[in-house]
Amino acid sequence: MFEHYEVFARVGESTDIVRKEMYEFEDRAGRRLALRPEGTASVVRAFVEHRPVTPWKVWYVAPNFRAEAPQAGRYRQHYQVGVEALGSDDPDLDVEVIALLDGFFRSLGLRRFRLLLNSLGGAASRASYAGALRAHLDAHAGELSAAARQTAATNPLRVLDSKRPEDLAVIEAAPRTLDHLDGPDTEHFERVQAGLRRLGIGFELAPRLVRGLDYYTRTTFEFAADSLDAAQNALGGGGRYDGLTEQMGGPPTPGIGFGAGIERTLLACDAEGVFAAPDRAVDVFVVDVVDGSHALALTSELRAAGIRVDRAFDRRSMKAQMRQADRSGALVALIVGEQEVADGVVLLRRMAGAAQEPVARDRVVEVVRKEVGAS
């Protein structure tokens, strides 16, 4: 969860994620540490440290921290499930990684999402694009927000992340990365698209998708949920980072991966209703008007048999306990009073219709199981 500050400083000196949103502090030994804002830099740091055999394919699920203004789908602590694959720049690997994430969302039952795809190109293409973009931003400086003007001077690509309304028209008219790809970058991107088509994975070209971190080269992608608010609709995203390992002091090693936001994925699942929500929390409610000890034993036995059960506490009146049974949504109430104890039975009451019958104490689990359909 902690890394040396420098691990992230290198990957995002001019990004909001590192400059404005990263939690950083000094520990007691005076080291400058950061709470991990994302997973890729840590994985690459581990690669450089341990030098595993390539191709190296790893995955993680872990919390990340960003000091953002919390709102639906945007939290200061969020979980990502991610993969990284280091050691090959084969476009088939891009397709494999994208297909894995597409398949993950589909296997959950999600359908209302789109795959946005772009290529930033390698160093030469990126430099050519950055030059054209800077010229465009300079020419329209007067129409940009003050913050965007400042970003344009240090890292023009980051201006494309701006969601400020005043910047949108200039961004819309900005040059496209795809018009600045050199020969090898163009070929790489064409092969990625061909591979996705081959697997039947639909995508939209998003020529201004540069993503919020500086390490990306060539392929970038994002899965956007149509069921979520546009400002927080990225379910997951990723791309290539062919220069990152070298930048961190390792041998030149291309890499690609993705990170998917678990909370956002769950929000999208809720919005699309892909999980059947349980209509009640318990099937059985025990009402004990003797002393509570019968409820204690019954709930324990029923739970051991895998039956969802709750009870009242605090020796409340019969009426109060029955009201609680009603509110719990249980199908069945088991009622124990002095008479039932004397007779060695429990009253089983079906909450719908209120029919009730005595059940021998030692047959309760068996009868209740049949009644609520538990296995």
The size of the chain, in residues, is 375
Report in angstroms how near the CB of residue 96 gets to ligand HAM at its nearest.
13
Torsion sign, CA atoms 171, 174, 176, 180: negative
Question: How far, in Å, CA of 38 to CA of 237, rounded?
Answer: 12
Question: Would you count residue 66 as binding ligand HAM (CB under 6 A)?
Answer: yes
The region that residue 292 occupies, defined by phi over 0 for left and psi between -120 and 50 for alpha, beta otherwise, is left
Question: Would you count residue 236 as binding ligand HAM (CB under 6 A)?
Answer: yes
Radius of gyration over alpha carbons of the chain, in Å? 29
Burial of 83 (0-12, 13-18, 19+ CB in 10 A): buried
Report in angstroms how near the CB of residue 42 gets to ligand HAM at its nearest.
9
Residues in CB range of 294: below 8 A, 6 or more apart: 286, 288, 336, 341, 346
Find how far residue 133's CA is from the centre of its chain: 32
Report in angstroms how near the CB of residue 56 gets to ligand HAM at its nearest.
13
Report in angstroms how near the CB of residue 88 gets to ligand HAM at its nearest.
15
Residues in CB range of 16: below 8 A, 6 or more apart: 158, 161, 212
Of 22-30, 129-137, 173-181, 236-244, which part binds ligand HAM (CB under 6 A)? Answer: 236-244
Question: Would you count residue 80 as binding ligand HAM (CB under 6 A)?
Answer: yes
Of 45-53, 115-123, 149-157, 229-237, which part binds ligand HAM (CB under 6 A)? Answer: 229-237
Report in angstroms how near the CB of residue 172 gets to ligand HAM at its nearest.
21
The region that residue 154 occupies, defined by phi over 0 for left and psi between -120 and 50 for alpha, beta otherwise, is alpha
Question: Would you count residue 68 as binding ligand HAM (CB under 6 A)?
Answer: yes
Residues 12, 213: contact at Cβ < 8 Å?
yes
Question: Would you count residue 78 as binding ligand HAM (CB under 6 A)?
Answer: yes
Report in angstroms how near the CB of residue 80 gets to ligand HAM at its nearest.
5
Query: Residue 177 or residue 328: which is nearer to ligand HAM going by CB?
Result: 177
Report in angstroms how near the CB of residue 324 gets to ligand HAM at its nearest.
37
Q: Hey, which residues between 256 and 275 contact ligand HAM (CB under 6 A)?
A: 257-261, 263-264
Report in angstroms how near the CB of residue 38 gets to ligand HAM at its nearest.
3
Would you state the structure tokens that stand for residue 52, as one six-digit string? 């595993």
Binding mask 23-52 for ligand HAM (x = CB under 6 A): ---------------xxx------------
**Tokens 């990152």 — which residue?**
244
Query: Residue 90 or residue 263: which is nearer to ligand HAM going by CB?
Result: 263
Question: How far, in Å, CA of 43 to CA of 145, rounded?
Answer: 36
Total interface residues for ligand HAM by CB under 6 A: 26
Torsion sign, CA atoms 317, 322, 327, 330: positive
The neighbour count for residue 112, using CB atoms within 10 Å, is 13
Of 67-75, 109-117, 121-129, 287-295, which part binds ligand HAM (CB under 6 A)? Answer: 67-75
Report in angstroms how near the CB of residue 214 gets to ligand HAM at its nearest.
11
Residues 210, 211, 212, CA angle at the centre, nearest 5°?
125
Question: How far, in Å, CA of 368 to CA of 359, rounded?
Answer: 9
Binding mask 350-369 for ligand HAM (x = CB under 6 A): --------------------
Question: Would you count residue 84 as binding ligand HAM (CB under 6 A)?
Answer: yes
Residues 38, 17: contact at Cβ < 8 Å?
yes
Question: Would you count residue 234 as binding ligand HAM (CB under 6 A)?
Answer: yes
Query: Residue 156 or residue 261: which is nearer to ligand HAM going by CB?
Result: 261
Would you state the structure tokens that stand for residue 77, as one six-digit string? 């602590």
DSSP code of residue 99? H
Residue of 87, 91, 212, 243 interacting with ligand HAM (CB under 6 A): 212
Q: What is the number of the residue whose Cβ is closest to ligand HAM?
A: 261
Report in angstroms how near the CB of residue 166 gets to ligand HAM at its nearest.
24
Question: Would you count residue 74 as binding ligand HAM (CB under 6 A)?
Answer: yes
Q: Which residues bind ligand HAM (CB under 6 A)?
A: 38-40, 66, 68, 73-75, 78, 80, 82, 84, 212, 234-239, 257-261, 263-264
